[in-house]
């Protein structure tokens, strides 16, 4: 690592240390405002693994050997680390109790909720005399001291255990059996009703969830598979939450790419209707980046998404959903360069940055024990069920994390860059730039007489030499190369540059606003 890079990283850490040392005693939620201004840097965590203590390093939490899985309390010491990385928001995967019957994995899927108004006892520390609700409040309060906002995940379906207790809450098929949505075999589809007749029983279930998480001090909700409930259901629920906290933020798991219901028996509400119902933002289709072969595909998606969120009277936003817990680790798809590309796209586009625990250090989420017979189980599943290359949400397992220090340093620098240049990124105009090679993408974010230029290579196997058209640029302009392996050559009307496989270059022009 060169001295300039070391100095920059040290400076970043000093800035964060000063910024968070004067945290306010009284927390005032500002998440909705921040999110709709594309200023959130979101880190998704599974509390069951986030602070897990795997002392023998076998990847599984052995309770018989006094190891501890993740809890509300052992997550607290890691909050300082998140703030140093530039994280200002966490998306906490479901904290509701999980089903144990017809389960997936030895701990049960986080998304197989067996209750919506209580907390998952798996997340309680046995070493504390505090109630589980007080432990959750303490975790959220400590997050707020680091100016980290907290989004809580709202599961879309109910577990089989919940169905056995309250069958009236669920959709039935023609034979009278509860409906299995898609291939989610451990859950059953809740009956939220229709646009004309919302099911009050399920609505009240979700209303109790809202009461619970707001009572704990949370700042927002991420609605899992929001598309499978009527817009009227969400409109009423969101309006109810805003009577308690006007800044309470709602994020819909929805996308332009999703156009069909999860079951023939399920409702389907498209993303635009969800935004009309009151959601502040949605996922968009950025997870399709892994499939793009040309730069035009990426820039067209950005243009379409930007246009989609400008149709509403109230501000709306998207997350940089290039990778989520439903996506395979980027390092398995195209190596660390793909992860770096995702980092810089999040940092330079008008999106709320979004990352999964372990992404920043290059975790492949490959578990040696995956899908093998378990030594011990806490459900009726005798196997360590996992999705290959995806963060584990089914077992008591290790903390996520890889070994890439270079990726981590890039992550920290890019998050600071997003903060430093927020005026340009949040207020600026997105301008796609022409390239001479199809696999290259280039764009400018311009505002206030300055521009950020981003150039990338979607070919992860070969170098490319490309020209990038930048109107009105000449060799007299002041160009600051921030993230490059090869220095672009400035010429009248653009750049000539060589891009390594998967390389992303970031430049700042201090005296030119690209239009």
SS3 325: coil
**Is residue 6 over pLDDT 70?**
no
**CATH number for the domain whose boundaries are 429-509:** 2.60.40.1180
What's the pTM?
A: 0.94
CA distance 280 to 153: 15
Element (H, E) at 345: helix 330-348
- Of 227, 230, 231, the C-alpha closest to 254 is 227
Average pLDDT over residues 436-448: 97
Percent of the chain with pLDDT over 90: 91
Q: What is the pLDDT of residue 483?
A: 76
Q: According to CATH, where is 3.20.20.80 located in the chain?
A: 23-420
Question: Burial level of 64, CB count in 10 A (0-12/13-18/19+)?
Answer: exposed
* 8 Å CB contact between 502 and 455: no
Q: What is the pLDDT of residue 20?
A: 42
**Is residue 145 over pLDDT 80?**
yes
Q: How confident is the model at residue 15 (pLDDT cuts 50, 70, 90)?
A: very low
Q: What is the pLDDT of residue 485?
A: 79
CA distance 310 to 195: 25
Average pLDDT over residues 370-379: 97
Structure tokens at 229: 């409930």
Q: What is the pLDDT of residues 105-136, one digit of tens each?
A: 999 999 999 999 999 999 999 999 999 999 99
Q: According to CATH, where is 2.60.40.1180 located in the chain?
A: 429-509
Q: What is the pLDDT of residues 195-246, one digit of tens each?
A: 999 999 999 999 999 999 999 999 999 999 999 999 999 999 999 999 999 9
**Is residue 151 over pLDDT 70?**
yes
- Of 302, 319, 249, the C-alpha closest to 42 is 319
- Of 330, 322, 321, the C-alpha closest to 358 is 330
Average pLDDT over residues 452-478: 94
Q: What is the pLDDT of residue 476?
A: 84
Query: Please, what is the Cα angle at 130 between 126 and 132, to 5 degrees?
Result: 75
Q: What is the pLDDT of residue 482?
A: 82
Query: How would you classify the pairing of strands 450-457 and 440-447?
Result: antiparallel
**CATH number for the domain whose boundaries are 23-420:** 3.20.20.80
Q: How confident is the model at residue 257 (pLDDT cuts 50, 70, 90)?
A: very high
């Amino acid at each position: 690592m060169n001295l300039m890079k070391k100095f920059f990283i040290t400076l970043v850490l000093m800035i964060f240390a000063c910024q968070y040392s004067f945290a306010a005693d009284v927390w005032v939620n500002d998440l909705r405002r921040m999110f709709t201004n594309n200023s959130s840097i979101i880190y998704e965590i599974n509390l069951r693994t986030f602070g897990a203590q795997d002392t023998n390093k076998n990847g599984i939490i052995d309770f018989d050997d006094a190891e501890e899985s993740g809890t509300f309390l052992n997550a607290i010491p890691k909050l300082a680390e998140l703030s140093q990385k530039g994280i200002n928001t966490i998306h906490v995967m479901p904290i509701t109790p999980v089903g144990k019957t017809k389960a997936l994995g030895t701990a049960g899927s986080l998304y197989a909720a067996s209750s919506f108004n209580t907390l998952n006892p798996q997340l309680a520390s046995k070493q504390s005399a505090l109630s589980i609700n007080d432990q959750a409040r303490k975790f959220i309060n400590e997050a707020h001291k680091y100016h980290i906002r907290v989004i809580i995940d709202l599961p879309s379906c109910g577990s089989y255990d919940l169905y056995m207790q309250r069958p009236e809450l669920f959709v039935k098929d023609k034979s009278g059996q509860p409906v299995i949505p898609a291939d989610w075999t451990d859950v059953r589809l809740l009956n939220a009703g229709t646009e004309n007749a919302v099911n009050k029983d399920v609505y009240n279930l979700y209303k109790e969830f809202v009461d619970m998480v707001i009572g704990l001090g949370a700042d927002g909700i991420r609605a899992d598979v929001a598309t499978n409930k009527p817009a009227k259901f969400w409109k009423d629920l969101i309006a109810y939450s805003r009577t308690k906290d006007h800044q309470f933020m709602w994020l819909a798991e929805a996308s332009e790419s999703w156009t069909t219901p999860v079951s023939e028996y399920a409702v389907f509400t498209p993303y635009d209707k969800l935004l009309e119902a009151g959601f502040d933002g949605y996922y968009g289709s950025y997870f399709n980046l892994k499939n793009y072969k040309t730069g035009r595909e990426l820039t067209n998606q950005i243009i379409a998404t930007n246009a989609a969120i400008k149709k509403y009277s109230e501000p709306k936003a998207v997350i940089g959903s290039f990778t989520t817990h439903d996506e395979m680790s980027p390092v398995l798809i195209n190596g660390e360069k793909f992860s770096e590309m995702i980092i810089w796209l999040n940092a330079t586009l008008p999106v709320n940055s979004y990352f999964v625990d372990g992404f920043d250090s290059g975790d492949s989420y490959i578990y040696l024990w995956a899908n093998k017979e378990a030594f011990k189980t806490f459900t009726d599943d005798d196997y360590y069920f996992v999705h290959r290359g995806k963060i584990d949400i089914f077992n008591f397992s290790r903390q996520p994390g890889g070994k890439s220090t270079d990726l981590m340093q890039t992550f920290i620098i890019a998050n600071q860059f997003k903060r430093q240049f927020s005026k340009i990124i949040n207020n600026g105009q997105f301008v796609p730039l022409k390239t001479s090679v199809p696999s290259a993408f280039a764009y400018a974010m311009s505002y206030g007489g300055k521009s950020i230029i981003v150039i990338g290579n979607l070919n992860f196997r070969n170098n490319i030499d490309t020209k990038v058209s930048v109107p009105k640029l000449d060799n007299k302009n002041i160009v600051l190369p921030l993230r490059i392996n090869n220095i672009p050559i400035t010429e009248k009307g653009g750049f000539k540059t060589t891009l390594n496989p998967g390389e992303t270059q970031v430049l700042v022009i201090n005296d030119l606003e690209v239009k």
